[in-house]
Amino acid sequence: MMMATYPELIRTEHLDEAHGPRITLPAESTEPVYTAVSFDRITESGVAGDARAASPEKGERMLSGCASALADIIVRDPWAK
């Protein structure tokens, strides 16, 4: 998503090294309580997942999907009483 929104911040010369551990999302966890963990405890390099396959187009699709999902939630207004 950074490639789509802030391409000037991407250091393309480091993309070959841009891979690290997979992050488990709370929804994937079987633990009864989710506790946030500091990012530096997950990865020393600052990279999680594998950015080597990233592209601006994939970032745009992810942003669009997130926006659509958020819009769906807002339209359903789960906070209405």
Q: Could you read off the pLDDT of 19-50 as tens digits, one per residue?
A: 888 877 666 667 777 677 788 888 887 788 89
pLDDT at 3: 94
Residue 77 vs residues 45, 52, 64: alpha-carbon distances, Å: 40, 38, 20
Domain boundaries, the chain: 2-76
pLDDT at 65: 95
pLDDT tens for each residue of 46-70:
788 898 999 999 999 999 999 999 9
Three-class DSSP labels, 16-72: HHCECCCCCCHHHCCCCCCCCCCHHHHCCCCCCCEHHHCCHHHHHHHHHHHHHHHHH
State the amino acid at position 11 in one-letter form: R
